[in-house]
Chain A
Amino acid sequence: MGSVDFTWLIGGPQGSGVDSGANVFSKVCAEMGYHIFGKREFYSNIKGEHSYFAVRVSDQEIRSNVNDVTLMASFDAETIFRHFDEVSSGGGIIYDSDLDKITTDEVHTLDNYFKERLHQELESKNKPFTIAGVLEIAKEKGVHLYPVSFREILSNLAEKTENPKLRGLIRMFNVLAVSLSLGLIKMPLDPLLLSIDSIFSKKPQIAEINKQAADFSYDYAKSNFNTFQYSLTGTTKQPDTILVQGHFGTSIGKMVSGCRFQSYYPITPASDESVYLESNELLEIQNDRPGSTIVIQTEDEISAMGMMIGAALTGTRSSTSTSGPGFALMTEALGWAGINEVPIVITLYQRSGPSTGLPTRHGQDDLLFAVNAGHGDFPKIVYASGDIEESFYDTGRCFNYADVYQIPVIHMMDKFLSSSVVTCKRFDPKKISIDRGLLLDKIDGEYRRFAFTEDGISPRSRLGLDNGVFWNTGDESDEFGHITEDPQVRIKMMDKRMSRLDLVIKRVPQEEQVVSFGIYDLTIISWGSTKGPILDALSMLKKEGIDVGFIQIKLIHPFPSEHVKSLLKDAKTIIDIEANHSGQLGKIFKQNVTREIDYFILKYTGRGMTSTEIYDSLKKIVENKANKREVLSHGA
Chain B
Amino acid sequence: MALKLADYKTDVHNDWCPGCGDFGIVNALQMALAEMGIERDKATIFSGIGCSGKTSHFINTYGVHTLHGRVLTFAQGGKLANPEMTVVAVGGDGDGLGIGAGHFVAAGRRNVDMTYIIFDNGVYGLTKGQASPTLKLGEKTKSLPSPNTNYNVNPIGLAVASGFTFVARGYSYDVRHLKDLIVKAVRHKGLSFLDVLQPCPTYNDINTRDWYAGVDLAQESIERHARIYKLEDPHFDPTVHYDDDTEVNEKISQAMIKSLEWGNKIPIGIFYQNELISQYSTRLTDKIPNYLENPPAKQTISENGLPTTDVSAILDSLRV
Contact = CB atoms under 8 A, between A and B. Distances in A.
Decide whether A and B are members of one complex: yes
Interface in A350-374: none
A289 B293 CA distance: 10
Given A252-B315, A261-B296, A280-B314, A469 B77 contact: no
B309 A258 contact: yes
A242 B319 contact: yes
A311 B299 contact: no
A446 to B, nearest CB: 13
A281 B2 CA distance: 40
Interface stretch (A58-66, A172-180, A423-431): A423-431
B320 A287 contact: no
Interface stretch (A145-153, A292-300, A573-581): A292-300
A472 B64 contact: yes
B300 to A, nearest CB: 6
Interface in A263-290: 263, 280-290
Contacts of A284: 309-311, 313
Contact of A294 (B12, B72, B73, B80): B80
Contacts of A471: 56-57, 62-65
B43 to A, nearest CB: 9
A315 interface: yes
Contact of A464 (B10, B41, B77): B41
Nearest to B109: A299
B74 to A, nearest CB: 4
A282 B309 CA distance: 10
A434 B315 contact: no
A29 to B, nearest CB: 9
Nearest to A473: B65
Contact of A311 (B62, B65, B67, B78): B78
B307 interface: yes
Contacts of B290: 289-290, 292
Interface residues of B, number: 65
B62 A469 contact: yes
Nearest to B81: A311
B222 interface: no
Given A333-B67, A468-B41, A311 B309 contact: no
Nearest to B54: A483
Contacts of A289: 290, 293-294
Contacts of A260: 81, 296, 299, 301
A174 B115 CA distance: 54
Contacts of B103: 299, 302-303, 306
A587 interface: no
A324 to B, nearest CB: 21
Interface string A479-490: 001110000000
Contact of A298 (B40, B106, B294): B106
Contacts of A307: 73-74, 76-77, 80
Contacts of B320: 27, 30-31, 237, 241-243, 423
Nearest to B42: A464
Name which of B54, B79, B293, B308 has the most chain A CB atoms within 10 A of its CB.
B308
A430 B10 CA distance: 46
A264 to B, nearest CB: 12
A381 to B, nearest CB: 20
Name which of B46, B78, B287 has the most chain A CB atoms within 10 A of its CB.
B78
Contact of B67 (A244, A332, A429): A332
Nearest to B102: A299
B144 interface: no
Interface in B53-87: 54, 56-57, 60-67, 70, 72-82, 84-85
B318 interface: yes
Contacts of A244: 318
Contacts of B44: 463-464
Given A260-B299, A316-B81, A470 B62 contact: yes
Contacts of A94: none
Contacts of B102: 299-300, 303
B288 A282 contact: yes
A396 B63 CA distance: 30
Contact of A336 (B42, B66, B303, B309): B66
Contact of A248 (B57, B75, B318): B318
A396 B300 CA distance: 16
A475 B291 CA distance: 34
A317 B301 CA distance: 9
Contacts of A512: none
A315 B298 CA distance: 9
Interface string B108-136: 00000000000000000000000000000
Interface in A222-253: 237, 240-244, 248, 252
A242 B318 contact: yes
A285 B310 contact: yes
The 10 A-B pairs of least Cβ separation, nearest first, read A306-B73, A310-B77, A258-B301, A307-B77, A299-B106, A311-B81, A434-B302, A260-B296, A473-B65, A310-B78
13 contacts: A284-B309, A294-B81, A299-B105, A302-B70, A306-B67, A306-B103, A311-B296, A316-B81, A332-B67, A464-B44, A471-B56, A472-B66, A483-B54
Interface of A: 27, 30-31, 237, 240-244, 248, 252, 255-258, 260-261, 263, 280-294, 296, 298-300, 302-318, 332-333, 336, 396, 423, 426-427, 429-430, 432-436, 462-475, 481-483
Given A307-B80, A313-B77, 11 more contacts: A256-B311, A287-B308, A289-B290, A291-B301, A302-B103, A313-B74, A317-B301, A333-B67, A429-B307, A429-B309, A434-B305
